[in-house]
Amino acid sequence: MQYAEPITKLIKAFSRLPGIGEKTAARLALFVLNSRKEYAEEFAASLMAVKEKVSLCSECMTFSDVDPCPICSDPARDAGAVCVVSDFKDMAAIESMAGYRGRYHILHGSLAPLKGIGPDEIRIRELVSRVGTGRVREVILATGFDAEGDATATYIAGLLKGAANVSITRIASGVPVGGAVEYMDGATLGRAMDGRRTL
């Protein structure tokens, strides 16, 4: 089927999104065709706005339309605790827990030498200089527990080990809440066992 060229272009734009295949992209483009013109206009304007108005917070590297971001400029948030995450989405997940009152550092990736992602490709330098200011008391490494997340945490811990008066911690790995022990894999149970605490 030959779609008209503007439709083909829109399908192509949609299909570049993660998890959106050619068929779904065609369905989404058709939805836009069938919808009111205002929707397409608002959609287009919001696409432009995120690129024009949103940039990285110079403190924590999160996406924000103000600099420093609301969390970094909030005096109620402990500037001495910095939770290091790979991604904006990880930060969103921790924020949704609502119990953490420290601040963040977003790496925008994990170390993955096989994919060509080394320390210079992610925001590690910014973290090191932030710790260098002496205002950070604890760095909480909250990268994932896959190979890349673990390697990233280990690398950063090694880098910061020399920093005076900074404790470097790693969030716990183990059986998730609601998880049945019988269904856990051996690696998870091993971590859970290693991390056991006295009650």
Residue 49 is a binding residue for a second copy (CB under 8 A)? yes
> 78 pairs with which residues across the strands?
102
Cis bond leading into 68, ω under 30°? yes
For residue 8, the minimal CB distance to a second copy (Å) is 9
**44-60: buried (b, 16+ CB within 10 Å) or exposed (e) per residue?**
eeeeeeeeeeeebbebb
Stretch that binds a second copy, among 1-9, 154-162, 167-175, 187-195 (CB under 8 A): 1-9
C-beta of 96 vs 133, nearer to a second copy: 96
Nearest CA to 102 among 83, 87, 88?
Answer: 83
Which of 66, 187 has the CB closer to a second copy? 66
Contact residue for a second copy among 80, 95, 113, 172 (CB under 8 A) = 95
Nearer residue to a second copy within complex by CB, 106 or 168: 106
Q: What residues numbered 110-169 form the site for a second copy, per CB under 8 A?
A: none
**Cα distance between residue 131 and residue 43, in whole Å:** 40
CB of 181 to a second copy, least distance (A): 28
Which of these segments, 13-21, 121-129, 151-159, 178-186, binds a second copy (CB under 8 A)? 13-21
Tokens of 171: 């969030």
For a second copy, which stretch binds (CB under 8 A), given 12-20, 129-137, 146-154, 165-173? 12-20
In the chain, alpha helices (H): 5-15, 22-34, 37-53, 88-97, 124-132, 147-160, 186-194
Among 37, 161, 196, 197, binds a second copy (CB under 8 A): 37
Give backbone dihedrals phi and psi of 106, rounded to 5 degrees, phi first.
-100, 120
Question: What is the distance between the alpha carbons of residues 40 and 114, in angstroms, rounded to a whole number?
Answer: 40
Cβ contact 165:137 at 8 Å: yes
| Binders of a second copy in range 55-84 (CB under 8 A) | 63-66, 69-70
Judged by the rule CB under 8 A, the positions of this chain that interact with a second copy are: 1-7, 9-10, 12-13, 16-20, 24, 26-34, 37, 39-51, 53-54, 63-66, 69-70, 87-89, 91-92, 95-96, 108
